[in-house]
Structure 1
């Protein structure tokens, strides 16, 4: 039997979490009035929820309103898979950055997006569209395609059946074309993004595996626009991903992974 107030308690938790989702890079600090307007939660309730979140450390007060607190940063770094992957991968990402002279990135999948968990920036090339903690669609990033190609069959089919995101005029939004490209990625273990996520940039990525061939993420480098340049760096990215996979405990596969028509 649900006791009086229990349902309201769960509702308050979900409402509080929905307030945290309002923050972004562009909106790093929001007033209570703005949070109430965007969430549709009454202002008095929003004020109470913000007070609770500040008390717990999920939010902190700034000059114009509230912003995400340090407690969120601390908890984010405790997520087991991401933490282990990031801790082991940082030296590999730095080495890839030094060898290629390009920005190196490390990402994991969250829904139909990739989330950047590390980024080593090249002083000669700033990549403004990506940041640590940021996200981009799977279908128009090399990091995403490297992950998508080795994801579960059902998940791949759901992505292909859904609406594919267009970031630029060169983003692949035709499921037939994307399916064909994913087949190439499974064959070569390298994915390319040539101006698909941002004009003027290419990205080349490779998947990362852990125990028993479990897919855990991808690693990449980002540079200038030419496909020939991206292909030039493919061996370094693939070799780095393989070395990182071994460090994470991957064992050699005795058979090919799933086949996707």
Structure 2
């Protein structure tokens, strides 16, 4: 397969995003910027290989084979494997939605999630990317991100809800508190009715490699307990990563 054909196939896959999970052939061609006939041929090949799946309606979604391949990525297989028991412990203790996220450029990439029993509007899904300035796990990751990443994020503080922090000075002050206190919080900044608290997860060398968070309706009475539970879980993940040098987590 030539490079140009490869790039066009990748453009078709790249047409999908969290807001466009199901696409018609015409929409795929339009979003990928290619003629309909070319899209039809390539989509057929991607469908036969399993990268795309065709629904009874005729629309297309990402295929299971891409998901299977994604699970082989080190950040998925290693970090998720190390963190999984501790996410389940957190879920069992709180019955709340638990998140594990890593930084992907200027966004928080959610690599694992356990859905809670508590009725809270939660937007994130495994594989979704959300703005760092509006999420608990994102604020943790941003607090420990390189300076150029913070500068980029601070220059594009979009408002998601009425409570989203869009003032750079205020967010910088919060990020300083994250590094001092060891945790970050949000109050309905990503979704109305949902608050979150998150802590850093460190690798064997002490560097922050992920963030672990919980989403609840209200933090006023439970914050101290949730922070303690999260920190215990994060320390457990850190020990697991340190005790398993063969685990590929980066």
**Is TM (by shorter chain) over 0.5?**
yes
Structure 2 distance, partners of 1:60, 1:136, is: 25
Alignment partner for residue 96 of structure 2, among 77, 102, 106?
Answer: 102
Q: Kindly tell me: are residues 157 and 28 of structure 1, through their superposed partners in 2, closer, same or farther at Cα, counting changes over 3 Å?
A: closer
Deviations 1:79-120 (A, max 9, x none): 112221111111101111111221111111112111211111
Deviations 1:56-89 (A, max 9, x none): 3211222223221111001110111222111111
Shift of 1:207: 0.9
Whether the 8 Å contact between 1:103 and 1:121 is mirrored in structure 2 is yes
2:44 is the alignment partner of 1:51: yes
Paired position in structure 1 for 2:12: 19
2:226 is the alignment partner of 1:230: no
2:35 is the alignment partner of 1:42: yes
- Structure-1-length-normalised TM-score: 0.86
Which deviates further from its counterpart, 110-119 or 120-129?
120-129
Q: Kindly tell me: are residues 85 and 127 of structure 1, through their superposed partners in 2, closer, same or farther at Cα, counting changes over 3 Å?
A: farther
Paired position in structure 2 for 1:93: 87
2:192 is the alignment partner of 1:196: no
Find the residue that maps to 1:211 and give its secondary structure.
Answer: coil
Segments of structure 1 that go 5 or more residues without pairing to the other structure are 1-5, 251-261
- Structure-2-length-normalised TM-score: 0.89
2:32 is the alignment partner of 1:29: no
Structure 2 distance, partners of 1:227, 1:179, is: 23
Q: What is the correspondence of 1:210-229 to structure 2 with a 5 Å cutoff?
A: 210-229=203-222
Which deviates further from its counterpart, 174-183 or 24-33?
24-33
Alignment partner for residue 241 of structure 1, among 203, 209, 234?
Answer: 234
Q: Kindly tell me: are residues 152 and 25 of structure 1, through their superposed partners in 2, closer, same or farther at Cα, counting changes over 3 Å?
A: closer
Coordinate RMSD, CA, aligned: 1.9
Find the residue that maps to 1:167 and give its secondary structure.
Answer: coil
Find the residue that maps to 1:171 and give its secondary structure.
Answer: coil
Shift of 1:173: 1.1
Structure 2 distance, partners of 1:141, 1:239, is: 21
Shift of 1:26: 5.2
> How many aligned positions are there?
242
Alignment partner for residue 198 of structure 2, among 189, 194, 205?
Answer: 205
Shift of 1:126: 4.5
Q: Kindly tell me: are residues 18 and 227 of structure 1, through their superposed partners in 2, closer, same or farther at Cα, counting changes over 3 Å?
A: farther
Find the residue that maps to 2:112 and give its secondary structure.
Answer: strand
Segments of structure 2 that go 5 or more residues without pairing to the other structure are 244-250
Find the residue that maps to 2:214 and give its secondary structure.
Answer: strand
Q: Which has the higher contact order (CA 8 A, sep 6+)?
A: 2
